Structure 1
Amino acid sequence: MAQDIGQKLRVTMAFLGAVTRKDLAAAFRRVNPATSFDVERAHKWMQGRAHPRELRLYEDWAKVVDVGRPGAWIADCELDEFIQAICTRHNCERDTLERISEPSRRSLAGQRQDASRSLAGTYACYSHAWSPYFRAQFIRAELSIQSNGPQGVLAQYSERLPTSRFQLEGPLVMAGRAMHLDLVEPSGDGRMFFCLSLPTPPASVLAGLMCGATIIGPDAQPSVTRIVMIRLPAPSMRLRSAVAYLPSQTSIAGDLASLGLRIPDPAAVDDGVGAFLTGGHEAGLDQVQSPCHRALVDLFDPIWLAGAMAQQRFGEA
């Protein structure tokens, strides 16, 4: 199974003295003019958002580094093994090779951190209620994302349940091709895991899957639901204080409007959010497809940008 592909490519660039991905592509073409190595795809590979799937490309890579190992080994080996093989074969100093490749790693980490911090704000969250006492209802929650200094980005998720306020917190992590939240209850044993599609600017909406166990009910049932998190222009006291459970016929657009988000086409918002939340393939399995997530982005990006521009014009007035 391919692992550490982005880091291995950066080490390869350092070994070759390549400055850009184009230089790296040229090295692949020298060993195979018909190589499938592509500069644009290499950008995703080096970000960890994807990895090459063609064995032939790994065979080309094996020729580029010339460590006497097959392409499959390049894909599957540990990063330390890869570095050591290059150093042993070509009499390179490991410290020098790692130092040369390190700035690119720091740059990538910095890009991810900047992207995470750009998400700072308050989000209204809508998902299916898990409790058997509120079956077929939606549940509204609040997600707050804020910078936590050197510790990275902190997320807080809370629901105003009839019994008490349920709150979880933990780090936000962008890893591979998704964004993850592994949140725990500071003063209890509650825990939920969120796997969300990677957001793109202006991050008007986050969407994906939430997994955990029922909180209100006779049994703690493992559960998973689709969830939509819509960015608000400002924190809302109503979002923090109103009871989380919503009647099944609640208009999400109307609820968002009551939380301070201007909605020019309520029907489109209700249809778009409803389609996402009720999507899926079969009972017990729900996987979010990219077009489904993109439809939400296309719906809310114009709303968010229009509001931001209006606020900017108001500030200039």
Structure 2
Amino acid sequence: MHAEFAAKLRLTAAVLGNATHKGLCARFRAVNPNTPCDIDRLHKWIQGRALPRSPQLYEDWAKVLGTHRPGTWLATCSMNEFRDEIALLFGASLEDMHRTETPRARSEAVNGTPSDPGGLRTLYGTFACYSLAWSPHYAGQLIRGALRLEPGKGSTLRATYTEALFGGPVQMIGDVVLSGGTLHMLLRNPDTGLPASMILIMPGPPASVLCGILSSQAFVAHHALPSASRMLVVRVPSAARLDTSNRYLDFSPSCVSDDLDGLGLKLDAPGPLNALVAAFLGRGIDQVSPIDQASFSSALDPLYFLPAAGKAALRIDPAPPEPG
């Protein structure tokens, strides 16, 4: 029982990209500041010398992994069942998971020294990004951007996303948060502070492609337009060519495969990929306009300008007083 629990913790650290005990403890503290997990206890658990006494540890563990399984399941499941759950959540292969059980990996985990950070390291690299343009001036076109995923501070992963707008680059930077088999990035432009959110599915090795959602506001528009669209993120070998070729693309049947070819990713038979691109990106964008806002305001604003009796009926309560 002790040995299986220790192996589950080592696998948890590997798929989360936490190379040290300190990094894994930080994950537990992020979901519960009062977690029973601390450096000393974790060291004993990973050595197989003790088991947690508090059931809360297992509940925190479930949140760290992003699983819908209860903490009691994590405490009692077999190692094979745990591996199946990890594969479902993070797309990790059986081969990758077995690497955590090599003598070297066990030694590094027990001694608290850096080990292979697992899934996150497979994400390091440069990626071409394809999504539908949000600007009404470029309706129906694709915008080709670039994403860099690099080691950040400690065990974090750093994301840099760029697009070409108004003839110049627009850059957005942020950390990557791994949760429940998805990568979450809250990106900000360092000059304006404008945020964007990117959520991608965590792939298995070799992380050749990631699919997800990009959301922010349309940059090139007469009004603020909250927008979201699907995004296709493809690993490419040529970082230099990627940096200088961000642009709008006509959404033709072969636009993505042609662009990838120019970036050094040669496809012998691009037809199947072209069909996937058309089906995946061709569903349109989700966008909210001022007209939508005005329509709902016209319907609901009058309720807040009723006589006093009407307001009471609506139960518009004042804000609670400040404590103290």
Judge same fold: TM > 0.5, yes or no: yes
The one-letter code of the counterpart of 1:168 is M
**Unmatched tracts of structure 2, length 5 or more:** 1-29, 52-58, 77-108, 289-324
The verdict on how the C-alpha distance between 1:144 and 1:61 changes in structure 2, with shifts beyond 3 A counting, is closer
Which residue matches 1:182? Answer: 186
- Check whether the contact 1:162–1:243 (CA below 8 A) recurs between aligned residues: no
Relative distance call for 1:210 and 1:110 in structure 2 (3 A) is farther
Which one-letter code corresponds to 1:236 in the other structure? A
2:244 aligned with 1:241, yes or no? Answer: yes
Match of residue 256, structure 2, among 252, 255, 262: 252
| 1:144 counterpart residue number | 148
Q: Could you tell me which amino acid in structure 2 is paired with residue 118 of structure 1?
A: T
Report the CA distance shift for 1:241/1:49 in structure 2 as closer, same or farther (over 3 A): same
Q: What do you get for the CA RMSD once the two structures are aligned?
A: 4.0
Report the residue type matching 1:226 in the other structure.
R
Task: Give 1:110 deviation, angstroms.
Answer: 6.9
Q: Distance in 1 between matches of 2:156 and 2:74?
A: 35
- 1:17-44: CA deviations, max 9, x gaps? 98899x99xxxxxxxxxxxxxxxxx9x9
Whether the aligned pair in 2 keeps the contact of 1:232 and 1:261 (CA below 8 Å) is yes
Corresponding residue pairs, total: 213
Between the aligned partners of 1:264 and 1:162, the Cα distance in structure 2 is 35
Would you identify which runs of 4 or more consecutive aligned residues in structure 1 move more than 2 Å? 7-11, 17-21, 44-47, 148-152, 282-285
User: What is the CA deviation profile of residues 69-118 of structure 1, one whole-angstrom value per residue up to 9, with x for unaligned ones?
Assistant: xxxxxxxxxxxxxxxxxxxxxxxxxxxxxxxxxx89x89x977x542232
In the other structure, the counterpart of 2:214 is 210
C-alpha distance in 1 between matches for 2:155 and 2:177: 11
Q: Which residue of 2 aligns with 1:162?
A: 166
Q: 1:219 to 1:151 in 2, by over 3 A?
A: farther
Equivalent runs, 1:76-225 vs 2, <5 Å: 113-150=117-154, 152-225=156-229
- Aligned partners of 2:145 and 2:246 also within 8 Å: no
TM-score scaled by length of structure 1: 0.56
- Equivalent in 226, 230, 246 of residue 226 of structure 1: 230
TM-score by length of 2: 0.55
Distance in 2, matches of 1:216 and 1:126, equals: 17
Give the deviation of 1:234 after TM superposition: 3.1
Distance 1:243 1:155, change over 3 A: closer
Distance in structure 2 (CA, Å) of the matches to 1:149 and 1:191: 21
Q: Which runs of 5+ in 1 are unaligned?
A: 25-41, 65-102, 286-317
Alpha-carbon distance in structure 1 between the residues aligned to 2:191 and 2:205: 34
Give the whole-Å Cα distance in 1 for the aligned partners of 2:170 and 2:244. Answer: 12
> Aligned partners of 1:183, 1:19: CA distance in 2, in Å?
35
Alpha-carbon separation, structure 2, partners of 1:265 and 1:9: 54
Counterpart CA distance in 2 for 1:212 and 1:227 is 13
